[in-house]
Structure 1
């Protein structure tokens, strides 16, 4: 059983096609097919169903897939450990992160880190959908939100503050709300990946939930910003997204006398796995790059002028 065959099988199973797997492995389709055939002969079982229209994992393939992933991970970690013993951060590392935060802040923070450690082979997946951290597909997952799952191994990278914002045009047409009760009569722009279309605030009695009229539900922070700027409604946005427009007056802060539930930018990694030195180094670098308070808070006040 050869490692390149195992790597090809895992790539095909995850991509769902030989063509996509070949592109990710930078190999020809014929080479990937040959390696898959050799692997199936060595294990004495068919691992994949192949038809002209689709490819799927067989029952034996599904049973083998988790072990195959572990084998590859162990080899990668062993290689990385040897590099780290020599004082070098090297080898593959796969990270998932949200799209808008990744583009606006993570990328600029990552580039100098990668330049300083050229032997790290980073794969960055930007996706706003929730990722199963326990699956082991990623070394780490960067997320923005409330850290409320005690099963996760989490490193806090930076605090995150959210503010209600709206355009002057919207407020001229609908008025400025001054309490959470008044929000009920307003139109809201909501982030769908959080589930229910509501806003959560911390009041004297605990969490208070507001459900404004839905103007738009969307699964991307940048589009929520654009919709608020277009005057569609009020949005609850983190300052790392809305900060620049608050500072320039493109959006106004809506102060209802109560603050939204606190959140954080965090890096989670699979429980039970020792995080690599390069993942720890990345977390330390990102903490320094973002700062505490983070740099995107500069000049952003709840009383920011229009």
Structure 2
């Protein structure tokens, strides 16, 4: 098992239940574990029946948790930029830039970018502190886009840095300063720091081979098809998918005709899963009689003993 585990899947398949139970299993196995919720629904607090929130808190022996709020992180990031601008931009244009920054908070992609920055921060700062970092992720499509952000943002930052270097050189030449001395420019420092943080996190996850994915799915057509696509996409990033969790499997002794038919269809899809994912270890979790709560989580955690 890799140190950093992303648990993903189609919306509604039970990722948070599986992430929480797996985290409990790791903690009970003696591994210092951090559970990170990136799903906007943040059901982690509901499962453990306690407030988790924006800062890392201890919830059980060997188990800490945090819930990332993309809107909060986006606003915090923009406010930090505003603070930096006051020191480096003429007051005449600060008001207009501030207005544009306020609009940027709600622009497409801003929350994903802020989420990625927070995930990067956690990986960079906590990878040596914990034996296991488990990310309960948003639905599959959002998670895949998060993984593509380093490449996209890296290219964008390189472009911004090139333009900034050119602007600083022209400014210094116009003011009889050394145009090659760029190290003191605060904007370049900010851009370089962000690029370095992204590259460091990517090196930890990809180059050091510390990242893997576990997908959660139900024995239904749409989750199966989405998982097939996601596994193929991750192959392009050389990210392993060694395990799958098939969640909410019906009991065998169904009596009612409706549920007998549902069970027959489920068997068909379970066979399809076994054939389509023959290279992956498949963990089967039963449909619970009750909503997942703290009192049941240890019972579900036992199903993960075959992962290690």
Q: TM-score, normalised by structure 2?
A: 0.24
Query: Structure 1 or 2: larger helix share?
Result: 2
Q: TM-score, normalised by structure 1?
A: 0.24
Query: Structure 1 or 2: larger strand share?
Result: 1
**Greater RCO (Cα-Cα under 8 Å, separation 6 or more):** 2
